[in-house]
Structure formats: C-alpha cells, structure tokens
Chains A and B, each alone.
Chain A
Amino acid sequence: MMRLELVKRPQKSRLMSVLSPIVAVALTVVFAGIVFAAQGHSPFTGIWYFFLEPITSLWGVEQLITKATPLVIIALGLSVCYLSNNWNIGAEGQLTIGAIVGSILPILFPDFVSPVVLPLMLLMAMAGGALFALIPAKLKTVFGTNEILTSLMLVYCSNLFLDWMVRGPWRSPQGYNFPITIDFHEWAVLSAVDVGGIYLNLSAPIALLLVAILAVVMRSTLKGFEIRVLGQSPRAGSFAGFSNRRMTAFAFALSGALAGLAGMMVVMSEIGKLQPVISPGYGFTAIIVAFLGRLNPVGILIAGLVIASSYLGGEAIQTSLQMSSKLATVIQGVLLFFVLAADTLILYKVRLVPGREGERAHA
C-alpha cells in the first residue's frame, strides 16, 4: 500500500512559486473541458470559445482591458489589507460611495465646467472611499468588532444609499422618471483615445502606474516591510516599533481610496451618469483577483486579465454555444480552488511512501 505524504520544505521553492499558477491554470482548462463535455459540447470547441476566442479580435482585447482595469486597481488596495491581516470585504461599498462623492461636482455644480473638474472628481472619490473604509477600521481598533462583517454589511448600506440618491434627490428632471442622474458634462467624463485600433482611456495607464508603485513600495520601502511584518506577526511588529492600529487605518483607507478611484473611473468612462447599479460586482471579484495574484502587484495585474477574460468567455459561450454564462462563475471558482491548492507545492513537497504494517493494523 502506498500513500502520499506532504513533506515541509525548509525554504519556499522558487521554482514552484513560478510553476504553481501555471499548473493551476492548466488544471482549470482540463476541468473546463470536462464541464463542456458534460454539457454535450466538444471540450475543444468549448475551450476555444471560452478562453481564446474573446481575445482574437481588437474589440475583445479592448473589452478585456476595460474589465480588468477596475479589478486590478481594487485588488491592489485589497492586497495591502490582506497582507497586513485586515480583512476588508467591502470594496464594493467603498467603490459606490467613492463614485457618489466624486459625482457631487458634475451633478450639483453642472455649471462648473473646467479641466480641473476631472482630477478633482478623482480626488474626491478617493477621499470618499477612504473615509467610508475607515468606518470598519475604527470599529475594529476601538471596539474590537470583526471587520469582515462590518465592511461587508456596509456594502448593502452604500448600495441602498445610491439607489435612494438616484431615485430621490439626484434624479434627473429630464430623465422621464427613470432612476438616473443628469449626464456628466464633457470635462467630467474620460474619453477614449485610439491606440493602434484599440480605444483606451486614462484608467488603464493609471492602473499600470499603480501596479509599478505598489511593487516598489512592497519590495524596497520601510512601509512595505511594515505591512508584511504586521500581517505575519503583530507582536514582532510592535517590537519593531510599528503600530497595528495605525496600520489597520492605513490599509483600509488605502484600499477604500483605490476602490473609490476605480468606481469613479468606471462611471466616468462607461456610464457618464449615476444609476442604481454602477458595478457588476468589481469589488467582490477583486477579492478573487487579489488572491489569484498571490497578493503580489504584478501577479494581480495578470490575475485581473485572467478573470476579466473569464467574463468575456462566459458571454462568448452564451452567444456561440448557447451555454449559461453562469459557467464563467464556476470556472472562476475552480481556478481559485486550484491556485490555492497548487500553492501547497511552494511550501511542501509530495512524496510517495510505502504504508507500514503497524499503521495499517490500526487504521
């Protein structure tokens, strides 16, 4: 009788750190093939439509970047939270409140038309998201409440607040009673520019810049060191002179600000006004992106693209193969599962060992 044994490695395996996401993606493709086959389609056709067809056209690539951008920006902030052991689940709410606060300018002051409106809106959205995120942070540090619950519950508060705003005080007089606000003026929207056949706006380069900044911060600054130390060992962190309370406030404020920024840019580029629903759950999906990217800025960039492509893949199999787009959610979940499972290989190696007489007798 043989059995599998996990043996702890003395050091993290560098090879496996690189290989494990690839292993996970490969296993997910195999799994997806099985699912397509079970649905009565050729696994290869299914895999083609789901994973590859969406990015064969320029339009598909444009969609991919548009969807990935908010996911990446939000996940960057969340990674700082999770690395420092602060469990912010409420990015969706911070995104919403950020977008509402940033929208004050074009909605309440439609005559204030100037090039400074756009940067002001982005800054206000970041401040709004940050302040809203500080609520669960303060509840945690002052009263010791569980931030997972409070940040999650505040999502529902913020969504209902947005709903009330667009149906009530901010409803457009010219909107035929639809729950929408007035359209933003020209200096309050992000217009797309043609880059080699793909239309892109400012948000994608901002996401790339943020990835680069966070990569440097985490790698070689004292702040990045502080984030890692406090997350792994709070007592050692205070021995180093770092403060857990201040880190909680910092991490929540940062991730709230980035969620607010992402929310504002989605509204400014894709919608151009406020309406009851402004995000297809970017704030929640970004949690998956953050972990899929193993809380590493560059990893998050790649993970954001992978998850965004699964959204497009879902639409593609729906239109081409008449399969439910909910399959995309299944495949996202399976991907996260394989990524976390494959991570085991970084810290452990797998061995086959022969079973032993005595242990079998007692098994």
Chain B
Amino acid sequence: MGEGSGDSTGEMLRRVGGDTPLLEVRHVTKRFGSFTANDNVSLKIMPGEIHALLGENGAGKSTLVKIIYGSLQPNSGEIFWKGKAVTVASPAEARAIGVGMVFQHFSLFEAMTVAENIALALPNCRATRELCETIARVSANYGLPLDPNAHVADLSVGERQRVEIVRCLLQNPELIIMDEPTSVLTPQEADQLFVTLRRLAEEGCAILYISHRLEEVRALCHHATIMRRARVVAETDPANETVNTLAQLMVGNEITRVTREKGKLGPEAILLKGLTQVSQEAFGVSLHDINLSVRSGEIVAIAGIAGNGQKELFDALSGEEPLDKEDMVILAGEAAGLMNINQRRLLGAAFVPEERLGHGAVPALKLSENVVLTRHGTGEGIARRGFTRFGKAGRIVETVTSLFDVRKGVVDPEARSLSGGNLQKFVVGREVERTPKILIVAQPTWGVDAGAAAVIRQSLIDLSRKGAAILVISQDLDEIFEIADRIAVISRGHLSKAEDADTLTPEKVGLLMAGGAEKKGAAAA
C-alpha cells in the first residue's frame, strides 16, 4: 500500500484510553440450523484501540459483527459494554449505547444531497442549515472534507464512504465497526482514511477493523483477533507479525503462491478499436473511444475503482449489450461487434461475469444445468437438435470439480448451496475446462478466500501459457500485479494505454485510477 502506511513505528500505534475493556464478547455461539457460524467466540476491545478482525470468507466475522451491532442474536454467550452485561436487541440499541457501523456496501440515496442522507439517520430527519454546518465542521476536523449540499450521485466512491463515516461520527460513537473499508478505495484514498482512523483512536474512540489486506492491518492496528471456521484461533499484535505469518494464521496452512513465467505471444486475439457507447441507464457509465489489444499467451488486466465503466465494458465484450459498429470489437480476427454472446463463444471466446449468482449462474439450478447455461451454444453437442444432454453436462461438472477442487455436499447440488469461493471456482472452471482461445473475466476472485483465489489465479495463468488471450477486469491491485503481463486502467469510461506490469507500481496505477486515465493517451509516465 502507500508509503505512509508501509512502515510502522511503535509510537504511532500507542493506544490511548483506560484499562476497562470497552466491549467484551464472551463465549458467543451462533447457529444457523445445523451450521455453526460462531463457536464459543470471545473478543475484547479496549477504548481507543484499533482492533483488527481477520479471517477468510466464511470464517464467521460478519456473523460476529452482526451480533455486536444487534442485527443478530446469539444462541448463547454474553456481551459486556464497559464492564456491564448488555443485550443488544437491534441496531438502534447498538447506536444508543455508542456502537456505530460503516458498511462495506454503502446505503446512500444517490439522488439526495449529503446532508439529506445524513439527516435520514438522525432522530428528526431534517437537513437544517445547522446540520450542514455541523457536517462541514466535523468532516473538516477529521480530514474528511465534504460539501453537505453535494448530490451523492456526483461523489466518488471514496467521498461516499466519507459520508458514511461522518454520518456515523455525528452519533458520537465510542466504537466504530468498519467492514472492509479500503476494498473500494485507491491507495491514496486509503492512506487518507488511515490518518482519520488514527486521529479517532487518539481521541479514545475504538475501531473494530475488518479487512483482507494484511499490510494495512499491520500498519494500522494495535491488536488482531483471527478467526477460522467459526472459532477464534489466535490473538496477536500485528506489528510483530509478517504478512505471511498473519496469512498463515488465517488460512491454517501455507498459501500456495501462484507461479508465473513469461508466455509465448501469438497474434492479437482481442482487439478493441474506438469502442464508444453511450449508456442507456440513469446512473450508467458511457464508454469513450476505448482501444486495447490482447495477444494470445498474455494476460492483460484492467484496473479501476468500481463503477467506472467495468460493467458496461464487460457487457460490450460479451455481446449482452449490442454495439453500433461491428469492427469496434474484433475477436480472433473476426469483427464481432454485432454478434450475440453465443456467436462470440463459437469464435472461441468465454466469459466470466462479476456476479456469480444471478448472472454467471442461476441459483436454484443444479451445477449440470448451469453448465448447459453457458455451453449449449459452443458446438460441443451439449444441446443437439433442440434437446439438452444433461448427462454430458454432468460429466463436465465432474471434471471441473476435480480440476478446481470444488467442494460440494452432493454430486450435483444447486448452485446456491455452494459457498462463494467454491461457486467461483466452478464458474471459472466451467469456462477454463473448455480451453477457450479468449477468456474475459471480471473480478475473478472477488470475495473469495485466499486458498480458492490462488487456485483460480493459477488456472488463469496456466490457460494463458497454453495460448489463450485473457482479459481480467479487477479492482484488486494485489491480484492484478500477481497475474497480469500488462495493465490498463479504466476511469469514468476512459481506458489508459496498457503498460508492461513490470514497469508499473501500485502508486502509478492508483494515480490513473483516481482520474489520470481520462487524459488523452494517458499512461503512467
């Protein structure tokens, strides 16, 4: 991450506040049916402490946080607030005792102003001038400058997060829960956030900080609680750990690193020439004169903050959204701009969308039926003379399962019964198993645990080294630097020139993400 957070001094991490724990969770257990999400979990947060909660997806972090914030009730166990036993029956009660929460997915009304959005969370619901002044003052105090009269739709993601934080601060919380706050920020915006969080901690406000980014946890947090499979497996001072040791505590065994060698480059398989498209949706992003080429044997990544045209670009590439001219998208040498998605698949292209459930897979259909979903029109005989062959699809499920280690309870389960990571392995594996010539994949490891992410990334690299052209659209810079040969950045529908990954740094990419990519012919110089 940024340089400011890279080194950590003991001085910066000194904690301010008394010795009575602010919040203590004792032996909490929460079951959903036969599934135990929290098993005898205990957690202690001191005043003024930035406390990291670490764990893979499905380790039970969200459940624990929901219990603290009152949106779930535990089956057993106790919660103590400033030494006294309490029952937090609802989020309103949590806010009343002084617990605030900043969600990963913002809950703001885009058509309303900052002040109106904040007023909605307050008892009298009126965006008075007084409130505007308070917002301006508080936000400036904490280094979160905000214009109270700006419309949320016009704000960047980082600014929207500030609205959430300021809304939380106005309720004078003593504990703020932050769920993956940096996952949507540029490195520069993240550094800015860390300054604010340290400032809050110095004033005695405790922060429960949930993140996958171990570097920033090391730099920021006084204490870390690590969960694995519904239990607390370790408590540690993250400053004394390395990223590797923290990751090991989370995953339980050594993470397999992906290996990468340069591939042999072939002809241009994906070519975008002046791809321009005006968005038809109210809050959609228009694509402006996008030029890009991806050759066989390489992986090109498109970095960018969510909502900068990634969805529109993916739909234009897959053919789900028809284009104006056929030569705007050229796949495997054929002008494909006017083709539908199955005609593009016949050219050897495969697609993995960002959303697993509801786009990449139908939740209530079995895996074999979900194989038919994307492969009935690929000329493999899965659909013949109008009849579907689910048996053949079932054999593909078996192959994908063994190649990608998809863990499932029964032979052919419904897609929704798989965990996020396993479903993602299936959705990627379903396309990779075809050995496509072209693979276009959005957020290949979004919300997936470290083990599954490594499997997926390795499979992408292996596929490209076998001669496929791969385009990855991702917000995860770590992932991009791990697998990409070249990197381009998308910002408000403009795409920067793709640069060799070895010559780029996360900081340069961050600058492009923050708007640099919009300049004509922009590249990180």
Give A contacts to B, CB under 8 Å.
7-8, 10-12, 220-225, 228-229, 232-233, 235-236, 238-241, 356, 358-359, 361-362
Contacts and interface: CB of A to CB of B under 8 A. Distances in A.
B13 interface: no
A7 B35 CA distance: 11
A240 B87 contact: no
24 contacts: A7-B32, A10-B413, A12-B414, A222-B386, A222-B387, A225-B369, A225-B376, A225-B388, A228-B365, A229-B362, A229-B373, A232-B363, A233-B363, A235-B358, A235-B359, A239-B318, A239-B351, A239-B360, A239-B374, A240-B341, A241-B340, A358-B73, A359-B73, A362-B87
Contacts of B369: 225
Contacts of A220: 387-388, 390
Interface in B306-344: 318, 320, 340-342
A242 to B, nearest CB: 9
B409 A240 contact: no
A236 B427 CA distance: 12
Contacts of B376: 222, 225, 240
Interface string B406-424: 0001100110010000000
Contacts of B377: 241
B320 A238 contact: yes
A35 B89 CA distance: 43
B75 interface: yes
Nearest to A217: B386
B426 to A, nearest CB: 14
Contacts of B355: 235
A238 B358 CA distance: 11
Given A10-B413, A241-B340, A358-B73, A236 B383 contact: no
B372 interface: yes
Given A225-B369, A236-B358, A362-B89, A11 B414 contact: yes
Nearest to B353: A239
Contacts of B318: 239
Contacts of B33: 7-8
Interface string B361-385: 1111100010011101100000100
- Looking at chain B's contact residues, the main secondary structure is loop
Contacts of B360: 236, 239
B413 A358 contact: no
Nearest to A6: B33
Nearest to B321: A238
Contacts of A10: 409, 413, 417
B359 A236 contact: yes
Question: Which 7 A-B pairs rank lowest in CB-CB distance, beginning with the nearest?
Answer: A241-B342, A7-B33, A362-B89, A233-B362, A222-B383, A240-B373, A241-B341
Contact of A239 (B73, B373, B388, B413): B373
Interface of B: 32-34, 73, 75, 87, 89, 318, 320, 340-342, 345, 351, 353, 355, 358-365, 369, 372-374, 376-377, 383, 386-388, 390, 409-410, 413-414, 417
B341 A239 contact: yes
A236 B372 CA distance: 12
A352 to B, nearest CB: 14
Given A10-B413, A241-B340, 14 more contacts: A7-B33, A11-B417, A221-B386, A221-B388, A222-B372, A224-B388, A225-B372, A228-B365, A235-B358, A236-B361, A239-B351, A241-B342, A241-B345, A356-B75
Contacts of A221: 386-388
Contacts of B351: 239
Nearest to B79: A358
Contacts of B320: 238-239
B428 to A, nearest CB: 14
B388 A222 contact: yes
A10, A221, A356 pick with most chain B CB within 10 angstroms: A10
A7 B34 CA distance: 9
Nearest to A9: B33
B508 to A, nearest CB: 34
Contact of A11 (B362, B363, B413): B413
Contacts of B73: 356, 358-359
B76 to A, nearest CB: 8
A361 B359 contact: no
Contacts of A223: 386
A17 to B, nearest CB: 13
A236 B362 contact: yes
A10 B364 CA distance: 11
A145 to B, nearest CB: 19
Contact of A361 (B87, B340, B345, B361): B87
A90 to B, nearest CB: 28
A235 B359 CA distance: 5
Contacts of B387: 220-222
Contacts of B75: 356
Contacts of B410: 11
A229 B415 CA distance: 13
A240 B364 CA distance: 16
A312 to B, nearest CB: 37
Contacts of A358: 73, 87
Contacts of B409: 10
Nearest to B318: A239
A238 B351 CA distance: 13
Nearest to B370: A236
Nearest to B340: A241
A235 B351 CA distance: 14
A362 B410 CA distance: 40
Nearest to B412: A11
Nearest to B341: A241
A197 B163 CA distance: 79
B414 A239 contact: no
B386 A229 contact: no
A221 B372 CA distance: 11
A232 B386 CA distance: 21
Nearest to B90: A362
Nearest to B345: A241
Contacts of A228: 365
Contacts of A225: 369, 372, 376, 388
Given A7-B33, A220-B387, A225-B388, A236 B417 contact: no
A224 to B, nearest CB: 8
A174 B9 CA distance: 106
A8 B363 CA distance: 14
B342 to A, nearest CB: 4
B420 to A, nearest CB: 15
A2 B341 CA distance: 54
Contacts of B340: 241
Given A7-B33, A221-B386, A362-B87, A232 B372 contact: no
